[in-house]
Amino acid sequence: MMPLSQYNVEQKMGNSFSHLPPLDLCVLYQKKTMSFQLNCPNCGKRAVSEFTFKSELKTRPAADADFSEWTDYVYFRENNMGPQTEWWFHSSGCQSWFLVERDTTNNTDHRSFWYNDSEQPDNN
Amino acid sequence: MAKRITTHKYCELPNLGEEISFTFDGKRIPAYANDSITSALISSGTSLISRSFKYHRPRGAYDVHGQGHESLVTVDHEPNILADRIQVRNGMVVLSQNAWPSLEFDLGEFNDFLVPMLPNGFYYKMFHKPKWIWPIAEHQIRKVAGLGKIDTAGKNAHRRYEKRYRFPDVCVVGGGPSGLAAAQGALDGGKQVLLIDDNPELGGHALHSIAPVSNCENEKLNGFPENKAVQRLIDELAAYPNLEVMVNTSVFGVYEDNLIAAQCGADLFKIRAKSVVLAPGATDRHLIFENNDRPGIMTARGVERLIMRHAVTPGEEAVVVTTHDGGFHTALLLEGAGAKVAAVVDGRESGNAKGEFEQKILELGIPVYKGLTAHAAHGRKRIERVDIGPLSGGDAHHSFNCDLLVLAVGFKPQVNLLSMGSKRPEWDPARQILRVTDLPSGTFSTGEVHGCAGFARLYAEGVKIGKVATQPDSSVSDENPHETERNADEIIMALPADIESGGKHHFICKCMDVTRAEARASIDEGYDQVETLKRYSSMGMGPCQGKACHEAVARLAAQDTGLSALDAVPTTVRPPFSGVTFGVLAGRAPYLSPIRRTPFHQCHIDLGVKFLNAGQWKRPDSYTDPQKEVGVVRNGLGMIDVSTLGKIEISGPEAIDFLQFMLPGKYAKFMVGRTRYSIMVGEDGILFEDGTISHIEQGRYYLTTSTGNQDAINYLFQWWLLVEDFNVQVKNLSLAYAALNITGAESREFLQKIVEIDMSNEAFPYMHCRQASIAGVPVSFFRIGFTGELGYEIHFPAEYGESMWNHLMSEGEEFALNPFGVETQRILRLEKGHLIPSTDTDALSSPYEAGVGFAIKDDKADFIGKAFSQNFKERGIENKLVSYQLEPDAPIPEDGVAVLEIGKSAADVKIAGRVTSSRLSPTLKRGVGLAWVRKDMADLGNNFTIRLENGRDVTATVLDHAAYDPEGLRLKS
């Protein structure tokens, strides 16, 4: 989670609620309709409705890993407010899987690349 | 009275087109082809067009541009159409809305006298005690709420809606002077431009202005009045080959990455532009005083439009309330059209330099009052008199008899499109308007929406922004500023938000009938933030969605809560900007969804099949009666089209490792020629798929999946191949191969006749596969038994589909081969107790509870879902999917009904499970099915209760796996 001050939002609420994002922040980043164009490494910029989102990029635990690690892997999401790396699939297009590094607060700026071109995450 | 004019002192009148007529509430109204419904109604002397939402107050034309709700009518059975925006057609049937028994005499107007009794949110507070009164009151309130009525039987119910696409370099929204100039700027930069306007013709408000153009960069336009100059500009643009113009098209949303949504008639346009220039302009500002909603009170631009475009004067005796020279321009147009201008009331103090039109008005001897504004209007269905007084409120000074009050108190930028549902406008004190400035890259804006004014300046800024927009990455910044220079006398000061002049009918939101007094009362009740105030009082939530009032609401809320104008932040404005027909958003469903047909489609049609929609697929449901078709399979020979199965071929050096990883079974000793039942689980251990896997050739495996997962599993395999790096080839043959299941006791005898290999039970046992050919076509045979009878699934290249079907049908004649459908197969499999994942299971079904835990071998190395499978096994089961049968003649439960546990008394009932599939078995002559029940109820022979939809209970008995042939002797014979 990024510090709230990064968004230049004045903290307007009382101290008792200081752990919550201020009201203005919620308004500022309320969900916009998804209409951006995603860059497919194969086909170029296409409407996001052509693609299927899978998940955040995560490292699969080892087979004998602790069960709590597996629970984290299967059921928990970072859900970053800010940059994150995600799996996308060009389902209504070339049908390839690729990775997108995207700022979740600003869909427009993102970088797409093949999995094999990415730095492999440590498998531990 | 309003009337049509034939001459005007200061300008030429437009060509009105041919004479036609239409009806309004049954009354014939003469009109001209170029009239809007509103202009035709006004010219015929109709000042009352609609009734307000809550108090049923009379409402007439206001801005003649369709920004407000006043002109909502039903046109040719289509409700909630803005009369301002619709061009009349001969014979059109227009009806008023929200009035009973008639528009002229509306009983609902009684509400107006109840104003003190129907405060904001009265439905939260009133009619709740005693308790029984609310249902009655609610019924009445719901009956009167809402506007037009949808005519589901009308011809529009079957209208065809289309989606269309455009990909211009630059899309300019708004065809006024600044939009036209921006288009020219971009065209001169060599770009492909799409120019959109929601009016029938380009030109914007400049079409209705006679102010002379001077000092314009485009010297060819100088010296002409604005209406002529803008026409010349349009003619210049017509010469550009790269320009596409769309009129009568309303842009209702601007979304991320420059996606623009626009409606034109029954078409939805999705426009993806490299850059967008928004030039939506501004409309006359709202003025709040006593009875400010009466018919006969109109905006200056509305009046100018009626005169200049429709040759209609909307009144005989007018009072103009203004704060800028534009109001004097309107007064001059009215005077030139033969109306008497009783007075021009100027909110500015005397001493300001006099504008060009103010001079002319003074020369004409029309009385001008300085430092005053409107206090109250009198009259009910049409204003009769107006009181004017000081801006600070208090007592009125003067009173004028008039039938038209023109409001020209400055402009309200149409910031809705700029705010894009997230950016809040801010009050710009230097320009006295709300502005949105920080637009995303590639989106630009120009013109009156930033307070720019005057033709020459609009043109200069428009051309500049149009040129900037040719570079989508550039921005409007210090190098490319909006035109900010203003002389002090050019700024239109905002009047006080409300004139404190007494009376209870100062309407802020005319759509929802919210008055100033109600807004104050809501603030007193604690709703003192503009967002909560809006929700509680419903201001700005009516048909116009705050277009008319959102600035007034913000300023009044700030004033009443003691904030400065700078903090008067209006509520968020979201798309759609204008009303959008639902049909336009829905499009041409279901025809836009692809239809998938199997290779045997025509064969099915020839046999008179009833189709079943399985996702996008058309599958045979049944050919005759499914109950009879079951008998064909059980007693003879049947054939079903199973081409919709997913078919994946896996080969390569590490194919076996890949399978070991993807599937929960063990495949180390999987011999060539063998077929196995296989399930698939996710990483969460949940059962989501079952099918068969066959080892058809050394190192070559063939996996079948269910219809619904055909694509998903292929995508999943591709993904795992990418991240896990196995040396295998995965080939998706789903559409390349057709498949049939030939089943029934005689299937072996039949197939033996047409294939060359030995089909005997010894040579080709149950759960084996073979390669052979039929009529020269290579075919893979899989001996499996979903139906519970001896059966063979055959897969072969799809292009042989029809000829194979016809060959089998003719060869099978002597065995009485009959096709059967999916519904028949469902009964057959239920008789055998076979589950279908996602029909009989859901996202919480562990394979152990679903009874297919035998297919999981969790003692092998890593595989998908291993950790959770082990966990499920350790935890044991709580519920179980069981096969059940009913007593003969018991009614058949509906799919999805509840399984109950009934205690000592009939009232002591607990839900203990549910039925997932249920059918009448023609073989066993009783109901059979699958149900989830609690573990302790799942023992063999146990009885449980199923409650039917009609409330009756039936008793079911738990079976061991299958009702029909539980030992599977017929399968293996």
Following DSSP, what letter does each residue of B660-726 receive, concatenated? Answer: HHHSSS--TT--TTBEEEEEEE-TT--EEEEEEEEEEETTEEEEEE-STTHHHHHHHHHHHHHHH--
The stretch B843-860 carries a mean pLDDT of 92
**Cα–Cα dist B649/B662, whole Å:** 14
Q: Average per-residue pLDDT in chain B?
A: 90
B176: helix, coil or strand?
coil
State ipTM. 0.83
In the block, residue with structure tokens 């049609």:
B605
Query: Which H helix or E strand runs over B801?
Result: helix B801-811
Domain A31-117 has CATH 3.30.1280.10: no
A108: contact with B, CB 8 A cutoff: yes
> From the CA atom positions of chain A, what is the Rg in Å?
18
What is B830-972's CATH number, 1.10.3720.10, 3.40.50.2300, 3.30.1360.120, 1.10.150.120? 3.30.1360.120
**Cα–Cα dist B886/B240, whole Å:** 78
State whether B421 and A67 contact (CB < 8 Å): no
**Cα–Cα dist B344/B323, whole Å:** 10
State whether A97 and B871 contact (CB < 8 Å): no
Going by C-alpha positions, the residue among B347, B381, B334 that lies closest to residue B45 is B381
Q: How far from B120 is each of B125, B143, B292, CA to CA, in Å?
A: 9, 18, 19
Determine the length of chain A.
124
What distance in Å separates residue A74's CA from the closest CA in chain B?
Answer: 6
**Cα–Cα dist B828/B629, whole Å:** 10
Tokens at B306, concatenated: 């009626």
In tens, the pLDDT along B172-184 reads 999 999 999 999 9
Distance, CA of A70 to chain centre: 20
What distance in Å separates residue A80's CA from the closest CA in chain B?
Answer: 20
Interacting residues of B698 by C-beta distance below 8 A, sequence separation 6+: B672
Whether omega for the bond prior to residue B101 falls within 30 degrees of 0, making it cis, is: yes
Sheet-wide strand order for B72-75: B27-32, B19-24, B93-95, B72-75, B78-82
Q: Is A81 exposed, middle or buried (0-12, 13-18, 19+ CB in 10 A)?
A: middle
Strand partners, A84: A102
Amino acid letter, B840: D
Task: List the end-to-end C-alpha distance of chain A, in Å, as a whole number.
Answer: 24
State whether B715 and A108 contact (CB < 8 Å): no
**Cα–Cα dist A105/A6, whole Å:** 13
Instruction: Give the CA-trace dihedral at B688, B689, B693, B699, to 10 degrees.
Output: -50
The stretch B206-219 carries a mean pLDDT of 94
Amino acid letter, B214: S
CB B482 within 8 A of CB B297: no
pTM exceeding 0.90: no
Please give the CATH topology (third level) of the domain spanning B3-144: Ubiquitin-like (UB roll) (3.10.20)
**Cα–Cα dist A101/A118, whole Å:** 11
**Cα–Cα dist B951/B404, whole Å:** 67
Residues of B in Cβ contact (< 8 Å) with A74: 683-684, 868
Residues of A in Cβ contact (< 8 Å) with B441: 108
In tens, the pLDDT along B356-366 reads 999 999 999 99
Q: Classify each residue of A36-61 as buried b or exposed e, where b means 16 or more C-beta atoms within 10 Å of its C-beta.
A: bbbbbbeeeebbbebbbeeeebeebb
- Domain segments of chain A: what residues? 31-117
Domain B162-282+413-483 has CATH 3.40.50.1820: no
A75: contact with B, CB 8 A cutoff: yes
Helix, strand, coil shares of chain A, percent, nearest 5, are 25, 30, 50
Tell me, what's the pLDDT at B426? 86
State whether B719 and A61 contact (CB < 8 Å): no
What is B606-812's CATH number, 3.40.30.10, 1.10.10.60, 2.60.450.10, 3.30.1360.120? 3.30.1360.120
**Cα–Cα dist B808/B826, whole Å:** 23
Give the chain B residue whose CA is nearest to the CA of A118. B723
* Position A3 pLDDT exceeds 60: no
The stretch B661-666 carries a mean pLDDT of 94
> From the CA atom positions of chain B, what is the Rg in Å?
38
* Position B684 pLDDT exceeds 90: yes
- Domain segments of chain B: what residues? 3-144, 162-282+413-483, 606-812, 830-972
CB B365 within 8 A of CB B359: no
Query: Which H helix or E strand runs over B879?
Result: strand B879-886
Point out the residue among A35, A63, A97 whose CB comes nearest to the CB of B719: A97
Residues of A in Cβ contact (< 8 Å) with B718: 95-97
* Position B840 pLDDT exceeds 80: yes
Tell me, what's the pLDDT at B355? 87
Point out the residue among B257, B422, B862 whose CB comes nearest to the CB of A63: B862
Going by C-alpha positions, the residue among B749, B814, B239, B173 that lies closest to residue B466 is B173
What is the sign of the dihedral through the CA atoms of B62, B66, B68 and B73?
Answer: positive
The stretch B442-458 carries a mean pLDDT of 91
- Comparison of pLDDT for B584 and B194, the residue scoring more: B194
What distance in Å separates residue A89's CA from the closest CA in chain B?
Answer: 8
Point out the residue among A62, A70, A87 whose CB comes nearest to the CB of B868: A70
CB B971 within 8 A of CB B931: no
* Position B626 pLDDT exceeds 90: yes
Determine the length of chain B.
973
* Position A18 pLDDT exceeds 50: no
Interacting residues of B942 by C-beta distance below 8 A, sequence separation 6+: B957, B958
| Same fold? B3-144, B162-282+413-483 | no
In tens, the pLDDT along B686-723 reads 999 999 999 999 999 999 999 888 888 999 999 999 99
Tell me, what's the pLDDT at B479? 60
* Position A32 pLDDT exceeds 60: no
* Position B483 pLDDT exceeds 80: no
pLDDT band at A113; cut points 50, 70, 90: very high
Give the chain A residue whose CA is nearest to the CA of B661. A63
Going by C-alpha positions, the residue among A88, A104, A86, A79 that lies closest to residue A47 is A88
Interacting residues of B934 by C-beta distance below 8 A, sequence separation 6+: B878, B879, B880, B901, B912, B913
Tell me, what's the pLDDT at B902? 84
pLDDT band at B114; cut points 50, 70, 90: low
Interface contacts A/B by beta carbons within 8 Å: 69
Q: Classify each residue of B715-754 as buried b or exposed e, where b means 16 or more C-beta atoms within 10 Å of its C-beta.
A: bbbeebbeebebebebebbbeebbbbbbbbbbbbebbeeb
